[in-house]
Amino acid sequence: MKGKEFEDIAFSWLLEKGYEILKRNYRCKRGEIDIIATKSNKIIAFEIKGNHTDLYGFPQERIDKKKFERIKLCLLEYAISNNISLEAIQIDAIVIYKDSITHLENICL
3-state secondary structure 45-61: EEEEEEECCCCCCCHHH
Q: In this predicted structure, what is the pLDDT of residue 1? A: 53
Q: In this predicted structure, what is the pLDDT of residue 109? A: 56
Question: What CATH class is the domain 3-104?
Answer: alpha beta
Domain residues of the chain, as ranges? 3-104
Comparing 63 with 61, the larger pLDDT belongs to: 63
Which tens digits make up the pLDDT trace of 88-103? 999 999 999 888 999 9
Q: What is the pTM of this model?
A: 0.90
Which tens digits make up the pLDDT trace of 3-23? 789 999 999 999 999 999 999
Q: In this predicted structure, what is the pLDDT of residue 10? A: 97
